[in-house]
């Protein structure tokens, strides 16, 4: 039984993330989407909100669960019996950063392998920051994020001054 962990900020989850989750759940027996509560970043959505949005988006995927974590990823992965860390790769610019993190994690936890999945071409430009910028200024994010995220972005920015 191979349990993989897909960590990230997911602030908020996009269809690019969802595409990686959907493909990975067919490869691994069990997939944990791990929402990072990072004390160095001020997110738009709380960790619980981010978790809930992902849970809604993966409701039809029986072998996918969502958890919030803080601290070191390898400690969390070990505590859940994960043997694989999954990351998505978009541009070649992702590669340098991701390799550095993967090698650092391997140094700390040699029994856990990092696996990269390349993005699907239609999502290669997509990231959470772009989505937030579009939504902040009243643009349409349909097709870029799951419907529940689209709704919450609208609510968030209609209550926050621009
Ligand atoms: P982090 O803050 O850790 O980079 P993100 O939430 O931005 O977390 O991304 C989590 C993971 O998803 C990363 O591996 C990132 O490369 C990947 N990812 C983000 N957007 C896409 C996309 N459009 N296609 C494929 N992978 C993606």
| 36 domain residue, yes or no | yes
Average of pLDDT values for 126-147? 96
Pocket test for ligand 1, best of 69, 88, 121, 130 (most atoms within 8 A of CB): 88
CB burial of residue 6 (10 Å; 0-12, 13-18, 19+): buried
Which ligand 1 atom sits nearest the alpha carbon of residue 41? 2
Q: Is the pTM of this model over 0.85?
A: yes
128 is catalytic: yes
Average pLDDT, the chain: 95
CATH of the domain at 23: 3.40.50.620
Structural domain for 69, as ranges: 3-125
| 156 domain residue, yes or no | no
**Is 90 known as a binding-site position?**
yes
Q: pLDDT band at residue 160, thresholds of 50, 70 and 90?
A: low
Nearest to 59 by CA among 132, 119, 148, 122: 148
Average of pLDDT values for 85-112? 94
Distance CA 154, CA 131 (A): 11
| 137 domain residue, yes or no | no
| 134 domain residue, yes or no | no
**Distance of CA 162 from the midpoint of ligand 1 (Å):** 26
**Is 46 known as a binding-site position?**
no
What percentage of the chain has pLDDT greater than the value 90? 90
The number of domains in the chain is 1
Distance CA 15, CA 141 (A): 10
| 151 domain residue, yes or no | no
């Amino acid at each position: 039984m191979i349990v993989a962990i897909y960590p990230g900020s997911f602030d908020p989850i996009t269809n690019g993330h969802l595409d990686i989750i959907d493909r990975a759940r067919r490869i691994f027996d069990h997939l944990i989407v791990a929402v990072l509560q990072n004390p160095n970043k001020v997110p738009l959505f709380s960790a619980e909100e981010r978790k809930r949005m992902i849970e809604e988006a993966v409701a039809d995927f029986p072998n996918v669960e969502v958890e919030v974590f803080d601290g070191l990823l390898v400690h969390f992965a070990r505590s859940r019996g994960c043997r694989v860390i999954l990351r998505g790769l978009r541009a070649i610019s992702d590669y340098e950063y991701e390799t550095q993190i993967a090698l650092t994690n391997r140094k700390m936890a040699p029994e856990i392998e990092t696996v990269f999945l390349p993005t699907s071409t239609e999502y290669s430009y997509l990231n959470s920051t772009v989505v937030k910028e579009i939504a902040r200024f009243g643009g349409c994010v349909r097709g870029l994020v799951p419907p529940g995220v689209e709704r919450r972005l609208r609510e968030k920015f209609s209550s926050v001054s621009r």
